[in-house]
Structure 1
């Protein structure tokens, strides 16, 4: 063991400072930046039957401190997997940076309810940083098949390059689901490994974020638009990729609509549960790397400053809401199903895409549709009070945000549909008869019981029913046994609600514009009256000012006021007639003048062109200019 890592119990404590360690500080990722969770069956208890639960494991206790030193045997693994010296050097670097992650592998698969505490159905690892190179590191460390790891990494690199989108606000991925085996669809030999990426909506606060509770990636503090990390973007930055939206962020619907300011009960609930007022709408990304049936890795932005219950963090949302829904739907089904990493991938997708949607969790406070519906209600109240152009601009801004949210929701539906089609193709190739492709475990036999031996233990005279051993927060809102179908159904209902809000916004915009036009007609009548009065009295004012000048020839005139009225009436009549004539015929006169100017210009150009053409034809014989015969050569340009 290296001298830098003395073997003391304090060093293996979860609170160990990895940044102060020289060897750990040189690695791009440390155990303090990952969360490890096991999905396993609970044991029998007097009031409970076997039930799938998520158990959080400490990554620091799974990985000893001396794991920062890469043993020589690990480089042998890199040499066995490489086909040439260049790949060997690349794999050796991956082993040096991410080799310690191999200690997080699940060593025992749980096949019985009474298996050891270290066994599990699958292991879920979450990383709170979105650096694309981390995906390759986890794939290298957690994969066991050295014969295909080289091709898997090559497909991964090609996929990341093809799906990366660039913008002024940083990089992002287009939504995709891609198996990392060579070949696509039916040509792929296996579903594993697989990489998914999906955008999802999440709330935040305007201004500087609160201090983070836990350690995150040290490179997060140096983020910019050119960094390799995928930055968290606002909903406007997600759509306007090449524009600076800083001046519009304070005018988001989430920033302008504050329902807690007029509802004390809601204000107390938001401050108790959220801790901060959700005043901004952001677009985050969830990456899901499915290694094999027992290992899954997810990546998203750090959310440790949010509350874990209610589940406002993505990890707690997945474990406390989405996982329980799918788990309960499986448990209530009469068909034999297995919970694998693909099943948990569906739970992760459900937790991400349903982060702000009530259809995925009825207990949610301030969902996305309620915020927009409340803001539209406020704008409609303003419409009944006084329609104005500012109200039209506010409605158009709300309509623009709704279109962006609908576009993101449609992308989520398309991505999940592609994911489902890919799994269905793999299911047809394998000849499986299971009801859901996500519940199939390739290594399981037909007689495999996912819940192990469910016979009653001694002392228990009856099996407790499902409804008797759960509370309302554990009950599932699912109506189908296929988890992907339930996710798509929830998204479809959410999309319908958003489209209804957008249609309502369209109607409000049309109605507001009509009311504004009606008011403009009234204003036009008033302007017409003022214009007529001005045209009539402006010449009179001019004539009065002219005859009122203090000059001797005007002051000593012998004429009476009949001269003033004669001049005033003539000038007024001439001005009114000229104004009426220009108002009704001025456009036609101006058009004729412009046409005459264009025709004159064309005639001049035609004359010059004809003269030059004649000169070219005469050549050395001479040419005529203005009726005068001239001789001499003509040199063409």
Structure 2
């Protein structure tokens, strides 16, 4: 078999075009410099072990010509074929003028085997480091190849965005969901593409302003606010407290409080080498996945280019170097011939996003999510054995609160992935070669099983499966493996939460025990004060420098008689008020209420008597001659 080397067009790519200097490109919401394009191809990097699936990054300047900024008149024929509604035509015209150039990013040739030219691929992955919902409609219109159903897909996209958009004090965000954007007709098989998925995922950050972004920067990046249409990055507290300002509580996060590198020199060197910055914050980001068809998929997330690409801390690097290789290696170990489609890459993207902070997805990770919370709880438990206090209770409750938020996010991820699995099972969408594709050119291509001369030795397959394997994939189904990893992480997080509950209860008990000792000391101090305070008062009274007190001829028995009587009276009054003060006050209130009721009842009787007299007239005493010597007049109304 001849030796075939992979084709990397970015190596021969000319210098990048300055899109900001071009007035035509400045009118576009997105330019090629803001997108990252990757092709999933069969490559023969190691001829002795056969072809392997690899991800090759393509330079967008080699795919999009400079003249693509001008909208050709032929594109309006496409609008007329898509819809007859004048309102939709106007909208599609605007989308064509702003996003029509992205049609150059479509695959021109589907790869059948490892010997096809470099322009072919099995799947093209486009990543946009920005989260404006209007970009979804633009990319769906530009990359869609099915003009008969694109209008219906656009309507369903608008409905999905409106139905799943949530509002908060910190900006808009999507509820986790998966939505098929194809109109389903009765009596026909259910379509899978286009498919839109949104899922929240956790990622680390640093306190204070982050370093400047390196590339793929949206020109509107500096104008993001809670009032814009963009879905901006939020902290884990802002994700949960949607209507509250949490800026004064961000410094008390577990990631900000727990700094194990301060006491461990070896760990400090690892963190500096791996992260580049100390991970002192936890954020909640969103991943949007738009699968156009079986060969094209688009992902959206916040710009993370201030992080390193290797170690793969950026989301795109994590997907291409960790989760993709885990799925690829699982395909090697399985005996089934499977095809890599957009659905497969959707699973790889989900695995790379939701597993960003979890050890079950990334065994070589330094300071994963569970390690940070377990280390913080270990420190709080050490403080518990030394000196339990109410401050310790508040710290434990704060850690417990964050664990509840993390568990809630993980449960939302599991629920969304289960819904996606149900959608794919209902539509009979698989990652095998019979997966549906809108392109009629698609044929059953060569897979790993077609290269018998390389796959026949079993030991080569075993050795091949460990090639740069940073993630563990035991199951052959990527979606089942993703759910299994998440459920194991959820079990670990729930164990930490239960341990936190026990620590909180134990700390409260120890604090109450200490309060009992404090209560005894206060009781002794109170008794001594009650006994000696009257004596001190009497001594001060008899010691006043007045003539009538100074010149008394009485002996000290008068002092003791007065002091003992005052002390007994004060002690007795204190005891009565301490043990029966509440009952006495309650009886006083009852007496006052009963007296008020009697007064009201007497007033009511007098008013009734006056009303009865008023019915027959009124009498003026002192005018009629009666038995009492008075004179009375009676007048009837």
Deviations 1:566-599 (A, max 9, x none): 0110000000000000111011112223334445
Q: Look up the match of 1:579.
A: 574
2:442 matched to 1:441?
no
Shift of 1:617: 9.8
Q: Which residue of 2 aligns with 1:389?
A: 390
Mapped pair 1:354 → 2:351: no
Q: Give 1 or 2 for the bigger CA radius of gyration.
A: 2
Q: Return closer, same or farther for 1:84/1:472 CA change in 2, 3 Å cut-off.
A: closer
**Cα distance in structure 1, aligned partners of 2:571 and 2:32:** 87
Is the Cα contact below 8 Å between 1:186 and 1:426 reproduced in 2?
no
Could you tell me which residue of structure 2 aligns to residue 495 of structure 1? 490
Post-superposition offset of 1:185: 12
Q: Is contact 2:364–2:470 with CA below 8 Å preserved after alignment?
A: no
What residue is the counterpart of 1:214 in the other structure? 215
Deviation at 1:631, TM superposition (A): 8.9
Say if 2:337 and 2:432, in contact at 8 Å, map to a contact too.
no
Distance of 1:334 and 1:618 partners within structure 2: 109
RMSD (CA atoms): 2.9
Name the CA distance, whole Å, in 2 between partners of 1:97 and 1:326.
Answer: 36
What corresponds to 1:34 in structure 2?
Answer: 35
Residue among 517, 520, 535 paired with 1:522: 517
What does residue 6 of structure 2 align with?
Answer: none
C-alpha spacing 1:378/1:545, structure 2 compared with 1 (3 Å): same
How far 1:410 moved relative to its partner?
0.4
In structure 2, do the counterparts of structure 1 residues 150 and 621 end up closer, same or farther at CA, with 3 Å as the change threshold? farther
Q: Which residue of 1 aligns with 2:336?
A: 335
Q: Find out whether 1:563 has 2:563 as its counterpart.
A: no
How far, CA to CA, are the matches of 1:391 and 1:566 in structure 2?
52
Please report how far the alpha carbon of residue 60 of structure 1 lies from its aligned counterpart in structure 2 after TM superposition: 2.0
1:402 aligned onto 2:403: yes
Which residue of 2 is the match for residue 120 of structure 1?
Answer: 121
Conserved in 1, the CA contact under 8 Å of 2:315 and 2:353? Answer: yes
**CA distance 1:464–1:568, change in 2 (3 Å):** closer
Equivalent position of 1:148 in the other structure: 149
- 1:63 alignment partner in structure 2: 64
The answer to whether the Cα contact below 8 Å between 2:337 and 2:449 also exists between their aligned partners in 1 is: no
The separation in 1 between residues aligned to 2:557 and 2:172, in whole angstroms, is: 83
After superposition, the Cα gap between the structure-2 partners of 1:490 and 1:602, relative to the gap in structure 1 and judged at 3 Å, is farther
Give the Cα separation in 2 of the matches to 1:331 and 1:122.
18
Distance 2:133 2:215 in 1: 22
- Separation in 2, partners of 1:65, 1:84: 32
Shift of residue 82, structure 1, vs aligned partner: 2.4
Partner of 1:433: none
* Contact preservation (8 Å) 1:113, 1:451: no
Task: Give the structure 1 partner of residue 73 of structure 2.
Answer: 72
2:179 counterpart SS class: strand
Report the Cα distance in structure 1 between the residues aligned to 2:200 and 2:183, rounded to whole angstroms.
26
Compared with structure 1, are the counterparts of its residues 332 and 576 closer, same or farther at alpha carbon in structure 2 (3 Å cutoff)?
same
Give the direction of change, closer, same or farther, for the CA distance of 1:54–1:540 in structure 2 (3 Å limit): same
Give the structure 2 partner of residue 7 of structure 1. none
- 1:13 is displaced (CA, Å) by 4.1
Matched, 1:235 2:236: yes
Q: Which residues of 2 match residues 595-634 of structure 1 at below 5 A? A: 595-600=590-595
Unpaired runs of at least 5, structure 2 = 1-12, 620-631
Tell me how far 1:102 sits from its aligned partner: 0.8
Question: Does the CA contact (< 8 Å) of 1:14 and 1:58 recur in 2?
Answer: no
CA distance in 2, matches of 1:341, 1:362: 26
Unaligned stretches of 5+ residues in structure 1: 1-11, 431-435
Instruction: Using the TM superposition, give the Cα deviation of residue 475 of structure 1 relative to its aligned residue in structure 2, in angstroms.
Output: 6.5
Structure 1 position 533 matched with structure 2 position 528: yes
**Equivalent in the alignment of 2:629:** none
- Deviations 1:235-263 (Å, cap 9, x if unpaired)? 00000111110011011000011111111
* Partner of residue 454, structure 1: 451
In 2, are the aligned partners of 1:113 and 1:453 still within 8 Å (CA)?
no
Using the alignment, how far apart are the partners of 1:630 and 1:17 within structure 2? 111
On the 8 A contact 1:198/1:415 being kept in 2, the answer is yes
Query: C-alpha distance in 2, partners of 1:414/1:117?
Result: 39
Q: Structure 1's 594 and 207: CA in aligned 2 closer, same or farther, altered over 3 A?
A: same
Count of residue correspondences: 611
How far residue 469 of structure 1 moved from its aligned partner, in angstroms, is 3.7
Which residue of the partner structure matches residue 419 of structure 2? Answer: 418
Does structure 1 conserve the Cα–Cα contact (< 8 Å) formed by 2:141 and 2:150? yes
How far apart in 1 are the matches of 2:407 and 2:327? 25
- Counterpart Cα distance in 2 of 1:448 and 1:619: 109
For residues 401 and 184 of structure 1, what CA distance do their matches in structure 2 show?
A: 45
Q: Does the Cα contact within 8 Å between 1:14 and 1:61 map onto a contact in 2? A: no
Displacement of 1:113 in angstroms is 2.2
1:370 counterpart = 2:367 = no
Identify if the C-alpha distance between structure 1 residues 261 and 454 changes in structure 2 by more than 3 Å, giving closer, same or farther: same
Checking the alignment, whether the CA contact within 8 Å between 1:186 and 1:425 is kept in structure 2 is: no
Is 2:510 aligned against 1:509?
Answer: no
1:250-399 residue pairs with structure 2 within 5 A? 250-399=251-400
Give distance in 2, aligned partners of 1:616 and 1:472: 105
Q: 1:532 to 1:424 in 2, by over 3 A?
A: same
Give the Å deviation of 1:630. Answer: 11
Residue 123 of structure 1 deviates from its aligned partner by: 0.5
